Structure 1
Amino acid sequence: MGSSPDEIQRLQIDDRVRRLRFSFAKLPVQEALDRYRNSLKRAGQSNIIRYAYYVQIDPREEAPPIRKAVPALGRRLWAERPEGTVTLAALSILGTLSRLGPIPATRLAAEERLQPQSLTRLVGNLERVGLVERQRNIVDRRALRIGLTEKGRTALIEDLNARQRWLEKAMATVLTDEERAGLTTAAQSMLKLAFHAKDLAE
């Protein structure tokens, strides 16, 4: 018996993603991520959503389901972002500046885990469109800090609100009360892991 059209489409999407991952494997991490996201975006929002939907979790795997669940949900939230918004890497910078306020470039690079040259390029692009600005340190006028502009803050809020609206609607429609409560609890644990300062590889 032949494969259904949906099954064929799923296999085509999976094959495309595998080829993308292989072709970007030897690139620097940030460049690989940027190219991977752009390639998925060019493939169309519908394909991104389908791929996120078809990510299967095998309970026999030693790695916990969270390893697949988090990226899958992240891809779906990415697909729900408004058209014409900044890249995910740039959005992360806006979020960090909103959370911490104006900070030196070295601190921002450390927070974002970016190489200085990568940060310089991203900040330069954001500065050109008026989303961030370089500010003089009040104490040491020779020192510069990078801060969020009002335009940047507005762009960040609009992006977050769009994803928040989708997430609230999806949770209310798809999840039970118990599942929503469990997801909220799990989110706190995931944030604790994400911001863990110690290098667990040591």
Structure 2
Amino acid sequence: MPEHSYGDPAAVNALRSSVMRLARRLKHQRVDESLSPTEMSVLDTLARCGSATPGELARREHVQPPSMTRIVALLEAKGLVRMEPHPEDRRQKVVTPTEQAESMLEESRRRRNAWLAALVEGLDDEERAALRAAAPVLEKLAHL
């Protein structure tokens, strides 16, 4: 699709750039620096969507199944996930986050929320209102 069909190219470029920059800065506010962004993303997906097979996780994370197998093995070795028998297909396993992973994710969310709240405090009332209005739109874009 041509770029002009999305509206103002400068506005789209500014949105892309600022969202990416903010996301990068948020990634640095994590609890466990030994985990890769992909490992954190897999744990977050499990926390949001529930237990899943490695194949389901690979599709959700847009990685190849062999890569997901390696990621899951690393997370299991770190005690962050456990492999359980699939309830319907004995040939498959289901990946489930451990309490340690859930606790780490909660602390990570707390830290990121506190960091972001501190930034928002630096905005004026009008900017905070604009941010509140934009949040549902950004959420929608994130899930399209």
Shorter-chain TM-score range: 0.7 to 0.9
Determine the C-alpha separation between the residues in 1 that align with 2:12 and 2:89.
49
Residue 60 of structure 1: how far off its partner (Å)? 8.0
Q: Deviations over 1:106-159 (max 9, x none)?
A: 111111111112212211111100101111122333331111111111111111
Give 5+ residue unaligned stretches, structure 2: 1-7
1:175 corresponds to which residue?
123
Please say if 1:139 is aligned against 2:88. Answer: yes
Query: 2:126 is aligned with what amino acid?
Result: E
1:85 and 1:159 in contact (8 A); partners too: no
Determine the C-alpha separation between the residues in 2 that align with 1:148 and 1:157.
13
1:113 corresponds to which residue?
62
RCO comparison, higher one (Cα < 8 Å, 6+): 2
Q: Which has the larger radius of gyration?
A: 1
* 2:38 aligns with one of 89, 99, 104: 89
What is the percent sequence identity of the aligned residues? 36
2:31 and 2:104 in contact (8 A); partners too: no
Closer, same or farther in 2 for the Cα pair 1:190/1:179, shift >3 Å? same
* 2:132 aligns with one of 177, 180, 184: 184
Residue 62 of structure 1: how far off its partner (Å)? 6.1
Please say if 1:98 is aligned against 2:47. Answer: yes
Query: 1:176 is aligned with what amino acid?
Result: D
Please say if 1:194 is aligned against 2:142. Answer: yes
Task: Return the TM-score normalized by structure 2.
Answer: 0.84
Give 5+ residue unaligned stretches, structure 1: 1-58, 197-202
Determine the C-alpha separation between the residues in 2 that align with 1:137 and 1:121.
19
1:69 corresponds to which residue?
18
Secondary structure at the residue paired with 1:114?
coil
RMSD: 2.0
Secondary structure at the residue paired with 1:86?
coil
Residue 85 of structure 1: how far off its partner (Å)? 4.5
